[in-house]
Amino acid sequence: MGFVELTGLTKRYRGVPVVNDVSLSIGKGQLVCLLGPSGCGKTTTLRLIAGFVEPDAGEINVGGRRISSPGNSEAPERRNMSMIFQSYALWPHMTVYENVAYGLRLRRLAADEVGKRTDTILAATHLAQLAQRYPGELSGGQQQRVSLARALVIEPETLLLDEPLSNLDANLREEMRIVIRRLHDKYRYTTVYVTHDQAEAMTTADLIVVMNQGAIEQSGSPEDIYQRPRTEFVAKFIGGTNIFKGRWDGKDRVACAGGLVLRCGAGDFADQGDTAVSVRHHDIRLASSAPASDDGNWTSGTVARQVYLGSHRDYLVTLADGETVRTVTPVDIAIEQGRPVWLHFPPERCRALAR
C-alpha cells in the first residue's frame, strides 16, 4: 500500500468528468509527475489531493488516513501538505528570510527553532546570501527557490507542485529542474508534481503518470514511458515519433499505406483493425543513396524540409503516397530540399501499438 492512495477518484463539473475514476498509489518519499496536455485533469487531481475541491466519487488516503471522500473531506490546513503554485505568491513587504520563516512563526514555534530551521533550508536552497533581500530584488529563479524553501521549511508530509517552472525562461527552467531533484533527494518528501513539459517530468520524476481526458493513460518510470509506450497518445506525447497504421500479418510485420511493410521487434499487435507502429524520429536512418540490398523496412521519399538546429538537423520527408515522415540526423548529413532519399526503420526500433 502506498503512502498517498487515490481510489476511483472522480470530479465532475456540470456533469462532465474532468477527473474520471483515477486510481494511483504513491510510495512514501517518491516524486511523481502528473504529465499531460492542458485540460487532461492533472491540476484538478492535484487540487483534490490538496483539499481545495471535494471529489464526487472515490477517496484519497494519506498514511492510511482517509482525508477525502464525497461529503467528508479534511480542510487543506489539516493535511500537513505544502503547495507551490505557478505564481510564487511571495509577500512583497517581507524579506526572503521573513517569507521562509512565516509558516514556522504561524505555527508558534520557539524563536530559536524558527531560526535554526530557516537557516538550514536557506543554506540548502542556496539563498543564505539573499536572506535580507525583498522579492522585487530577486530574479525569477531566485523567487522560485524562495517559494520552494518556504514550502519545505515546515516539513510537510506531502509536497504538491503545480507547474512551478512555467514562468521561467528555458535556461532557468533547466537549472530549477536540477534544484528540485536535488532537494527531493535530500529531504525525500512525498511529492506530486504537475507539468505539461516532458523534459521536466523526465528529469525530476521517479514515476511519470501520463493523463489524457481525465484518466490515466499509462504510468511508469521515465525510461519505461519513453521506451515502452502502450498507446498512440503516450508515444506521441513523450518524445517525437512517427505513427504508421496498417494490417498485422499474424507474425511480426505490419503492411502500411503506400506499400511500406514494417517488421516490428517490440510491442503488441491488434488482433482486429489497424495496428499502429511507432518509430522515434532519432531512430530512423536517412541515406542519400539506395541500399545495396533491401532486407526490409526501407522506403524512399523526397526531402520536403531540412532545418539546421545546431546539435542536429531536422528533416521532413514526403513518401510516394504523400505521407510525411520526420527524422533527425547528425549535422554532417546535409541533403538539400527536393532531393530523393531513402529511409530505414530498424526493426528493433519499430514498436507495435495495439491501442
Q: How confident is the model at residue 338 (pLDDT cuts 50, 70, 90)?
A: very high
Per-residue model confidence (pLDDT) at position 258: 79
For position 84, which CATH number holds?
3.40.50.300
Lowest mean pLDDT among 39-48, 139-148, 185-194: 139-148
Query: Bridge partners of 247?
Result: 255
Longest CA–CA span in the chain (Å) reads: 79
Residues 75 and 218 in one domain: yes
Overall domain count for the chain: 2
Q: Residue 238: is it exposed, middle or buried by C-beta count within 10 angstroms (0-12/13-18/19+)?
A: buried
d(CA 266, CA 264): 6
**Is the pTM value of this prediction over 0.85?**
yes
d(CA 242, CA 280): 6
Query: Bridge partners of 219?
Result: 209
Please give the distance of CA 60 from its chain centroid, rounded to a whole number: 22
The pLDDT tens digits for 303-328 are 999 999 999 999 999 998 899 999 99
Residues 250 and 205 in one domain: no
Residue 138 lies in a domain: yes
Residues 196 and 250 in one domain: no
Residue 233 lies in a domain: no
Per-residue model confidence (pLDDT) at position 354: 79
Helix/strand/coil for 117: helix
CB distance 278 to 241 below 8 Å: yes
Long-range pairs, 109-118, Cβ under 8 A, ≥24? 117/153, 117/155, 118/153
Q: Residue 292: is it exposed, middle or buried by C-beta count within 10 angstroms (0-12/13-18/19+)?
A: exposed
Average confidence (pLDDT) over 125-148: 91
Percentage of the chain beyond pLDDT 90 is: 75
Q: Which domain holds residue 246?
A: 240-353
